[in-house]
Chains A and B, each alone.
Chain A
Amino acid sequence: MAIASVIGGAIYLTSAQGKSISNNTAIAQDTNTATLTSVWDKETEPAYSGTTEMTVYRSPSCGCCGGWIEHAKQHGFKVKDIKTEDMAALKQKYKLPTELASCHTTIIDGYVMEGHIPVDDIKRFLSEKPELAGLTVPGMPIGTPGMEARNIKQPFQVLSFNDRGEVEIFKEYQSY
C-alpha cells in the first residue's frame, strides 16, 4: 500500500517498497520510433450504466488535455470540450484545493474529476455515488491516460476528496 503525503504544499508519492527510493534510475533515454500502445485502452468496467455526459474545461495552451479527452471518448463518454483561459477561477469555483490540482477539470454528475484519471475509475466512483466532491490525480504524472510516454511510467494515485478538503486514496497505480 502506498501513500500520498502533502507537506508544505508538495505532494510526494511514496511506495511501500521504500528501498527503491535510493535507487535513482535513468529516465527518457532513447527516442526510437515505435508505435505507442496505451495500457489504458482496455475497458475494465463494461457493465457501467451511469452518466456518460461530461464537461471538460481546459486551457487552450494545454498540450496534454486533448489526449485525456480521447481516452474518455474511447471508453464511451460524450465530452463537451470547453477551452477557457481562466482555469484558476474555474478550479476555485469548484473548490478544488490547490494541492490537488492538475491541468484540466471535468464535471460529471455533479462531481469534480481533476486531471488524468483513468476513466474506468470514474465509472467505479460514479457507480458508488459516494458523498464526496470527486476524484483527482494531482499534477501530471507521466504514464497516465493522455500522458503516455514510451519509456516512463510514474507511479500515481487516484485520490478522492470531499468538501472539507479531506483526502483518501481511491486507487493506486504502482506499476501498470
Chain B
Amino acid sequence: MVKINRRQFIALGAAGVGTALIGNWLRQDISSQPLASSSANVFDVYQSSDGLLELDIIAKENPVNLTGRQAYLLTYNGQVPAPRLEANPGDKIRIHFANNLSQPTNIHYHGLHIPIMGNADNVFLHIKPGEKLTYEFQIPSNHPAGIFWYHPHLHGLVAEQLFGGLAGLFIVRGDLDEIPEVKAAKEEFLVLQDFAVDNNGRLINSAHMSLMMGREGDIITANGQVNPSLSLPEQGLLRLRILNASTSRFYRLALEDHSFYQIATDGGALNEPIEVNELLLTPGQRAEVLIKGDKEPRQYRLLNLPYDRGGMGMMGGGMMGRNNRDEPIVLATINYEAPGQSLSIPTQLASITALPEPQTVRSFELNHGMNPAVGMAFLINGEAYNHDRLDTQVQLDTVEDWEITNTGMMDHPFHVHGLAFQVISRNGQPESLLAWRDTVLVPRGETVRIRIPFRDFAGKTVYHCHVLDHEDLGMMGNLMINA
C-alpha cells in the first residue's frame, strides 16, 4: 500500500495562510508516552441537600486550559467538563440556566427518567442567546442509581455545541452505591471528550469538519486532560464510572494487564458483575467497572484501542477527521497506591427482570441518502427529521419492541430519550444479558431488537443516532407518548 507523503502535504500547507491549523497541538504526542498529569478530580461537584439540588448554570464561551494551552471552548460555568451534579431518588432539581452563548440552546438530561414536557427534559425548548430559563423537576423516588449526563439538544446545533465542550455528569446515588464492596471501592469518574482547535485555540468551524462521518478531534481528553493519572489501591478496588461525551468518537477501552468487572450500563446496575477485557462505548453511552488492584504495583495505561465504525469501505476507515486509528491511544494512567482495604468483587448487584411480551412491534431502518425534501441527509425509514411530523405514536403503559436495522455503511448508536430499554436480540440472536440501556449500537449491516416500557411520562420527545452530526443531519424522529 502506498504511503502518503506527509512532508508533501505539510509543504503544501506552508504555502497557504490557514496552514499550521493544528500543527502545534499535535506535537504534543498524545498517542505515545504517558506523561500523566495531576489528578482526575477536576470537577466542581454540586450535591443535593435536604431533598433539593439548586444551582445556577451559565452556558458561555470561556478560555479553558487544554493540554497546557488556552482554548476558547463552550462551557457550563466556565468548565470542561461541566460541574458534576449529584442527587438522590426523590430529590427536587432546580437549575437556573442562562444562555450566554451566541446561539440558541437548551439542556437535555440524558438517561434521566423525568418529565419530557415543560421545563424538564424538553428538547423542544429554544433558549435564545441572553435568555434565562429555570429547569425544575423531580427525580422519581424509584429512579435507579447510575451515571446520567446533561448536554445541549437543539436540533441542528447539537454536534457543534457538544464538540465545543458542553457536557457534564448527572449522578443519581442509590442502591448500587450502598453495596459494601462498591461503597468501599475508590470512586473515579472519567468523562471522555475530543476537541479540534486551531493554533489560536479557537474551535474549528463546522464547515471544515467531516460531518458525514461525524466530526472527531485530535485532542482526546479524559476529564478535560490529556492522560490524567488515577490511583488504584493495592489489594483494593477502583470503581471507574465512564461517560463517552464525544460527538462521534467511539472508545474501545482496555487496561494493561487488568480486566474490567462491569457493574453497570447506561441505565444502572447489572444483576451481577461481568468480567470483560474490553469495553466499547459509543457516543452517549456510560459504563461502570470495578478494577482489582491485584497485579504488580506500578503504572498501567488505560488504552483506547482502534475501532472501525465504517464509512468509506476502506480498511480502518480512511476518512478525514479520523485519526490514530491504527494505534492505541493512552487515555489515562492508573497508578497503584498504598495498600488499602482488601476487597473482592461483589456477587449480587441488582435484580433486573425481563420485560413482558410487547403489544406492538415496529421497524426502523437507518441509512443515509438523497431525500427529495432536503437532499443529502441521514434518514430513519427514508425520512429526514421534520420538526412538525410525528413519526411514532405509542401508548403510555404499554411495552413495544423496536427492531432497528442499519442498512448503511456507518455504525449508528441509537438513543431513545427519557426511557430505558432492554436489548432482546442482535441479528436474531437472543441477548442473554439483562441490562437497562438508553443507547445501543446498531453496527452497519446489523439489526438490533430492543424492548421499551413506556412508563410514567406522556408527551413528545425524540429518538436519534448519537453520532450527533448524523442526528443534526436528519437521523432523528419525533416520538409521541399518548396518555
* Distance between Cα atoms of A59 and B216 in the complex (Å): 24
A5 at the B interface (CB under 8 A): yes
Q: A27 touching B16 by the CB < 8 A rule?
A: no
Residue-wise, chain A 26-58 has the 8 Å CB interface mask toward B (1 for contact) of 111111111010000000000000000000000
Q: A3 touching B12 by the CB < 8 A rule?
A: yes
* Distance between Cα atoms of A130 and B465 in the complex (Å): 43
B130 at the A interface (CB under 8 A): no
Residue-wise, chain B 15-47 has the 8 Å CB interface mask toward A (1 for contact) of 111110111001000000000000000000000
* Distance between Cα atoms of A16 and B18 in the complex (Å): 5
Those of B376-402 within 8 Å (CB) of chain A: 376-377, 379, 384-387
Q: How far is the CB of B194 from chain A (nearest CB, A)?
A: 11
Please give, as numbers and ranges, the residues of chain A lying within 8 Å of B368 by CB-CB distance: 63-64
Q: A95 touching B370 by the CB < 8 A rule?
A: no
* Stretch with Cβ within 8 A of A (4 or more), from B238-246, B296-304, B317-325, B334-342: B317-325
Residue-wise, chain A 121-159 has the 8 Å CB interface mask toward B (1 for contact) of 000000000000000001111100011111010110000
Interface centre among A18, A36, A62, A139 (most CB of B within 10 A): A139
* Distance between Cα atoms of A95 and B181 in the complex (Å): 55
* Distance between Cα atoms of A12 and B322 in the complex (Å): 10
Q: B312 touching A101 by the CB < 8 A rule?
A: yes
Q: List the A residue with the shortest CB-CB distance to B6.
A: A6
* Distance between Cα atoms of A108 and B145 in the complex (Å): 60
Q: B313 touching A59 by the CB < 8 A rule?
A: yes
Those of B347-377 within 8 Å (CB) of chain A: 367-370, 372-377
Chain A interface size range: 35 or more
Please give, as numbers and ranges, the residues of chain B lying within 8 Å of A21 by CB-CB distance: 18, 198, 202, 204-205, 208
B407 at the A interface (CB under 8 A): yes
- Overall SS of chain A's interface: loop
In the complex where A11-B320, A63-B367, A64-B368 touch, is A95 in contact with B2 (Cβ < 8 A)? yes
Q: A24 touching B13 by the CB < 8 A rule?
A: no
Q: Which of A7, A8, A98 contacts B318 (CB 8 A)?
A: A98
In the complex where A12-B204, A62-B409 touch, is A2 in contact with B314 (Cβ < 8 A)? no
In the complex where A63-B368, A139-B321 touch, is A168 in contact with B198 (Cβ < 8 A)? no
* Distance between Cα atoms of A47 and B390 in the complex (Å): 50
A67 at the B interface (CB under 8 A): yes
Q: A5 touching B313 by the CB < 8 A rule?
A: no
B432 at the A interface (CB under 8 A): no
Interface residues of B, count at CB 8 A: 80
Interface centre among B26, B211, B321 (most CB of A within 10 A): B211
Please give, as numbers and ranges, the residues of chain A lying within 8 Å of B430 by CB-CB distance: none
* Distance between Cα atoms of A154 and B469 in the complex (Å): 14
Q: A8 touching B19 by the CB < 8 A rule?
A: no
* Distance between Cα atoms of A21 and B17 in the complex (Å): 12
Q: B212 touching A140 by the CB < 8 A rule?
A: yes
Q: A164 touching B156 by the CB < 8 A rule?
A: no
Q: Which of A26, A34, A146, A167 contacts B4 (CB 8 A)?
A: A167
* Distance between Cα atoms of A111 and B472 in the complex (Å): 36
Q: B16 touching A14 by the CB < 8 A rule?
A: yes
Q: B387 touching A31 by the CB < 8 A rule?
A: yes
B139 at the A interface (CB under 8 A): no
Q: Which of A14, A96, A100, A149 contacts B208 (CB 8 A)?
A: A14
Those of A73-96 within 8 Å (CB) of chain B: 86-88, 90-92, 95-96
Q: Which of B5, B320, B472 contacts A12 (CB 8 A)?
A: B320
Q: B6 touching A92 by the CB < 8 A rule?
A: no
Q: How far is the CB of B464 from chain A (nearest CB, A)?
A: 13
Q: Which of A12, A16, A31 contacts B21 (CB 8 A)?
A: A12
Please give, as numbers and ranges, the residues of chain A lying within 8 Å of B5 by CB-CB distance: 164-167
* Distance between Cα atoms of A92 and B213 in the complex (Å): 21
Q: How far is the CB of B106 from chain A (nearest CB, A)?
A: 14
Please give, as numbers and ranges, the residues of chain B lying within 8 Å of A62 by CB-CB distance: 313, 409
* Distance between Cα atoms of A20 and B207 in the complex (Å): 10
Q: A149 touching B376 by the CB < 8 A rule?
A: yes
Q: Which of B8, B160, B319, B323 contacts A101 (CB 8 A)?
A: B319
In the complex where A5-B10, A63-B367 touch, is A103 in contact with B208 (Cβ < 8 A)? no
Please give, as numbers and ranges, the residues of chain A lying within 8 Å of B322 by CB-CB distance: 9-10
Please give, as numbers and ranges, the residues of chain B lying within 8 Å of A146 by CB-CB distance: 370, 376
B143 at the A interface (CB under 8 A): no
* Distance between Cα atoms of A97 and B314 in the complex (Å): 10
B482 at the A interface (CB under 8 A): no
* Distance between Cα atoms of A2 and B205 in the complex (Å): 15
Interface centre among B196, B198, B377 (most CB of A within 10 A): B377
What are 7 A-B contacts with C-beta separation under 8 Å?
A7-B21, A9-B322, A63-B409, A88-B314, A101-B318, A139-B321, A167-B12
The 9 closest A-B pairs by CB, nearest first: A87-B313, A14-B18, A63-B369, A3-B16, A101-B318, A98-B318, A11-B320, A22-B202, A5-B13
Q: 18 more A-B contacts (CB under 8 A) besides A7-B9, A167-B9? A: A3-B13, A3-B19, A4-B9, A4-B12, A10-B323, A14-B16, A16-B17, A20-B205, A24-B164, A26-B157, A28-B473, A31-B385, A64-B368, A91-B318, A95-B1, A95-B2, A99-B320, A155-B207
